[in-house]
Amino acid sequence: MQTYTDTVFMWARSPGKTGSHFNPSSDLFVPNEKKDVITSTACWFAMVAILVGLGFAMGPIKLLMLYGIPYIINVMWLDLVTYLHHHGHEDKLPWYRGKEWSYLRGGLTTIDRDYGWINNIHHDIGTHVVHHLFPQIPHYHLVEATKAARPVFGDYYKEPKKSSPLPFHLIGEFIRSLKKDHYVSDTGDVVYYQTDPKINGSAKSE
């Protein structure tokens, strides 16, 4: 489950890396962020305590129905949206490493998506590229900012496919990406997603 994985990563990070997102003294943060980390960690533990208390007060089944299932659906949708903004374009998106990487290049390797009627309730987060580059822009200016920035982005910008009222076309984009975007090479400063034929079942069984 993605939420569990995220919590483990925030607590102990990935193998070979040190620091915790819950520890205000961690090297991940600069000294003036200490109060913010303490506040965030306190709120996180308070929410866990509230959920445990509600579980005893109303029973785990009712808590699962009222909170757990809606939360899981929300997380699954957000994971899907996040995935589609970083994978699945018909033109291969590069990964930059070392001297080839820059903040600008990294931000430009994301993709805008059109969600049809869902755009408005998404706070126009389909305009993901400009959000990556200028996260301080409020959501109600993202469409306007994207229109202004497109001429500057040039060939780096991938024009999103127009959606019908409901974005059913993204189902095909998602499935196609799952079939093709499996891994990137461990070597090279500019690398692209590659396909593992074993995952697609096209490799001969041994």
The answer to the question of residue 192 being in a domain is yes
- Report the number of distinct structural domains present in the chain: 2
Q: pLDDT band for position 120 (50/70/90)?
A: confident
130, 110 Cβ separation under 8 angstroms: no
Task: Return the minimum-mean-pLDDT range out of 8-17, 36-45, 155-164.
Answer: 8-17
Q: Against a cut of 0.85, is the pTM above it? A: no
The answer to the question of residue 161 being in a domain is yes
The answer to the question of residue 206 being in a domain is no
| Domain stop point among 82, 109, 130 | 82
Task: Looking at the structure, tell me whether residues 189 and 130 fall in a common domain.
Answer: yes
The answer to the question of residue 77 being in a domain is yes
Task: Looking at the structure, tell me whether residues 39 and 140 fall in a common domain.
Answer: no
The predicted pLDDT at position 5 comes to: 57
| Domain stop point among 32, 48, 82 | 82
Domain of 144 in residue numbering reads as 91-200
The predicted pLDDT at position 57 comes to: 96
Q: pLDDT band for position 204 (50/70/90)?
A: very low
| Domain stop point among 82, 117, 135 | 82
Task: Return the minimum-mean-pLDDT range out of 44-53, 62-71, 152-161.
Answer: 152-161
* Residues ≥6 apart with Cβ < 8 Å to 125: 81, 131, 139, 142
The answer to the question of residue 135 being in a domain is yes
The answer to the question of residue 170 being in a domain is yes
d(CA 137, CA 128): 11
Percentage of residues of the chain with pLDDT beyond 70: 90
Mean pLDDT of 127-148: 92
The answer to the question of residue 205 being in a domain is no
Task: Looking at the structure, tell me whether residues 63 and 144 fall in a common domain.
Answer: no
d(CA 153, CA 136): 19
pLDDT tens string 71-107: 999 889 888 998 999 998 877 888 898 899 998 888 8
The predicted pLDDT at position 6 comes to: 63
Task: Looking at the structure, tell me whether residues 166 and 123 fall in a common domain.
Answer: yes
Task: Looking at the structure, tell me whether residues 193 and 119 fall in a common domain.
Answer: yes
Question: Tokens 């939360």, residue?
Answer: 71
Task: Looking at the structure, tell me whether residues 27 and 122 fall in a common domain.
Answer: no
193, pLDDT greater than 50: yes
Q: pLDDT band for position 123 (50/70/90)?
A: confident
- What's the start-to-end Cα distance of the chain, in Å? 31
Task: Looking at the structure, tell me whether residues 28 and 104 fall in a common domain.
Answer: no
The predicted pLDDT at position 201 comes to: 61
Mean pLDDT of 5-15: 67
Q: How many CA atoms lie less than 13 Å away from 120 in the CB half-sphere?
A: 2
Amino acid (one-letter) located at 175: I
Task: Looking at the structure, tell me whether residues 72 and 16 fall in a common domain.
Answer: yes
The predicted pLDDT at position 61 comes to: 96
